[in-house]
Structure 1
Amino acid sequence: MLGLALAIAAAAHPAPRPADPVLGTWMNRKETVTIAISRCGPALCGRVVWAAPSAIEAAAEGGTPRLVGTMLMRDFRPAGRNVWNGEVFVPDLGQTAQAEMALVGPGQIEINGCQFGGMLCKRQLWHKTSAPR
């Protein structure tokens, strides 16, 4: 009887879902933008938590007046082992593109975004960092 009660209790409280390895704070290769990737409902998203003056200026020229706080990554969902698909917002262009994010090494992700049916693509490497500057 005790075994049945424990089984029911375990079913009522499932084990926590393992953390995605991409959750946390990431900086681009030029070290001009830092984003925090977190859960947004069933998906992942990334918001700018720090930006260098040069990135802020480029974003403003592209039509994004306030870079810090801007959601750059939206609705990223698992698409395979250590791969997620979603949308990226490119603030210096003021445009959104379909993208793939992949964990490519310890503390390193690659984000590939494409527009116009794959005619125009951009790839960026980001490294994990402890906190925004």
Structure 2
Amino acid sequence: MKKLLPAMLAGAAGLAALAVPALAADPIGGQWVTQDKDAVVTIGDCGGSVCGKITKFLKTPPGGADQRDIHNNDKSLRSRKLMGLPVLTGFRQDGDEWRGEIYDPKSGKTYRSVIQRKGPNKLEVKGCVTVFCQTQVWTRP
């Protein structure tokens, strides 16, 4: 029994060390104000992945609070309301980053995206085309 206990403790420590990378990334869920301070995006679970939707306008869009997705490249989606529109989709944790896609309703384009927490109240949001990325910092409301 004396030899078994140290082996069990060593095994438990080894398992705990393997679990650390899964816990390394700070969660990105909650409400975030976009860099332009024009909207609040609420990020949360979307059944197997993480997504974010526009949940509040801080600046009224040109078409009013009922603004539609008029710049979408897909004409069949142009009648969708911006309020409630998913702008972050398919995000999955990859180490301390989250990878998915970001939709820009101002241009109507979707980009590869990487999100990373930069403290309790800052979220770094990148939208990328090939190797070129544009970075924004979103903050807590």
TM-score, L = length of structure 1: 0.71
- Runs of 5+ consecutive residues of structure 1 not aligned to the other structure: 1-17
How many matched pairs?
A: 108
Q: Quick one: which amino acid aligns to residue 75 of structure 1?
A: G
Decide whether aligned partners of structure 1 residues 118 and 60 sit closer, same or farther in structure 2, where only a CA change above 3 A counts.
same
Higher strand share: 1
Decide whether aligned partners of structure 1 residues 126 and 42 sit closer, same or farther in structure 2, where only a CA change above 3 A counts.
same
**What's the counterpart of residue 88 of structure 1?**
102
Q: 2:131 aligns with which of 97, 118, 121?
A: 118
8 Å CA contact 1:33, 1:55 repeated in 2 = no
**What's the counterpart of residue 88 of structure 2?**
73
**What's the counterpart of residue 21 of structure 1?**
27
CA distance in 2, matches of 1:128, 1:59: 26
Decide whether aligned partners of structure 1 residues 62 and 34 sit closer, same or farther in structure 2, where only a CA change above 3 A counts.
same
1:31 partner SS: coil
CA distance in 1, matches of 2:68, 2:135: 18
Identity of aligned residues (%): 26
Decide whether aligned partners of structure 1 residues 87 and 55 sit closer, same or farther in structure 2, where only a CA change above 3 A counts.
farther
1:105 partner SS: coil
Q: Quick one: which amino acid aligns to residue 118 of structure 1?
A: V
Q: Quick one: which amino acid aligns to residue 50 of structure 1?
A: K
RMSD (CA atoms): 2.3
